[in-house]
Amino acid sequence: MSGQPRKPSDPVLELKLPRFYGSVPTLFGAPQAEQPGDLEGADIAFLGVPWQAPVPDSRIGAAGASYFGTNLTPQTFRTNSVKYGGFLPEMDVDVFEHLKLVDCGDVEISNDHATTFDNTVERVREIIRAGAMPFTIGGNSGPSTYGVLKGVGLEAGGPVTVVNFDAHHDNLEGEIEDDPPYLPRWGGTWARRILDLENIDPARYTHIGLRGPRNDKGVFERFIEKGAKRENIRTFWETYRARRTGYEDWIESVIAPNVEGAAKVWLAVDPDVLDMSVSQDFGDEPLGLHPEELCWGCYTVGKLAGRQRFGGIAFMAMPFDAMKLHWVMMYAFLYAMAGVVHAESE
């Protein structure tokens, strides 16, 4: 099967979609790109990072349920996507008529943590060198954040803006080289560590949705130590007020100054940025964004960056069995790409 992804009305039960080993369909039924030459002409390349992080003692019990089985997240995300196409009637745009999507399969995961990171970096660089925008999904944070962004930075050729939708700081101290290989400090450190990567501009780092007592008192100081600006760390109170004064204008005012002059703009979404009421399958914190606010934020990033500067989109820390959450993230992806399309039409 070749061409653009399937229409949602096309049959899916006769194994007519492109599939990976184990009968896993490609994302949205897109063409496979298992060899570098298959990336020719692609605008977006999906890459799974099927890594399950070790679960520390603090996560054992009910809280650990969202962390087990995340090595299955990319394949269940693909399976959950096949009911959708790329047409957004509310915007009267079919994303896949303008942007060719391919599915590159998954990063090879190793028992050696450093090897997994290296594999992720090289796969992402391969996508970018072919002229495509990387769309990645974990797994837990770690390879799907630091590893992906390292590849983006190495190929950027200039300053990279990171726009991170996330409830938590994830900026604890500690260097990646010092992590124990069997219990790496993956989730709580990545947002600080990325600020040391090549071409990643700390002053452009933009954090939206920070909230709640899982964060500690040093959160702002640790970002500022690495060169991030306090005014770019946006908390619940600001999103709450923006709902009354005009969320669309507010989110653009937050993102636009840090996109201006950037070589690339990388968009990261942790699903815990959403309010816990959004999905009964996964709810981490109250007082979060609504799906429409996340989607419009992603649209805004895509439109401000445009095709040439959009450096990729990454979903991290995604439970494998949270189907409703998967569907919200598919909307967020399509809205980001609709923004890219609309940027090109203006």
When pLDDT is cut at 50, 70 and 90, the band that residue 188 belongs to is confident
Q: How far is CA 138 from CA 142, 143, 315, 323, 332, in A?
A: 9, 8, 6, 15, 16
Residue type, 162: V
Q: CB neighbours (10 Å) of residue 166?
A: 23
Tokens of 345: 């039409």
255 pLDDT more than 60: yes
Q: What is the pLDDT of residue 313?
A: 98
Q: Whole-angstrom Cα distance, residue 178 to residue 161?
A: 27
**pTM score of the predicted model:** 0.93
Q: What is the pLDDT of residue 67?
A: 67
Superfamily of domain 19-345: Ureohydrolase domain (3.40.800.10)
Domain boundaries, the chain: 19-345
User: Quick one: residue 42, left, alpha or beta (phi over 0 = left, psi -120 to 50 = alpha)?
Assistant: beta
Q: What is the pLDDT of residue 314?
A: 97
SS3 22: coil
Q: What is the pLDDT of residue 11?
A: 62
Q: Please state the rounded mean pLDDT for residues 149-174.
A: 96
Give tens-digit pLDDT for 307-333. Answer: 999 999 999 988 888 899 999 999 999
Instruction: Give long-range contacts, CB 8 A cutoff, 24+ apart: 184-188.
Output: 184/53, 184/54, 184/113, 184/142, 186/53, 186/140, 186/141, 186/142, 187/53, 187/140, 187/141, 187/142, 187/317
Give tens-digit pLDDT for 198-241. Answer: 999 999 999 999 999 999 999 999 999 999 999 999 999 999 99
1 pLDDT more than 50: no
Give tens-digit pLDDT for 86-120. Answer: 999 999 999 999 999 999 999 999 888 889 999 99
**In terms of Cα–Cα distance, which of 343, 340, 333, 338 is closest to 165?**
333
- Angle among Cα 121, 127, 128 to the nearest 5 degrees reads 90
Give tens-digit pLDDT for 19-68. Answer: 887 789 999 999 999 888 899 999 999 999 998 877 655 555 555 556 67
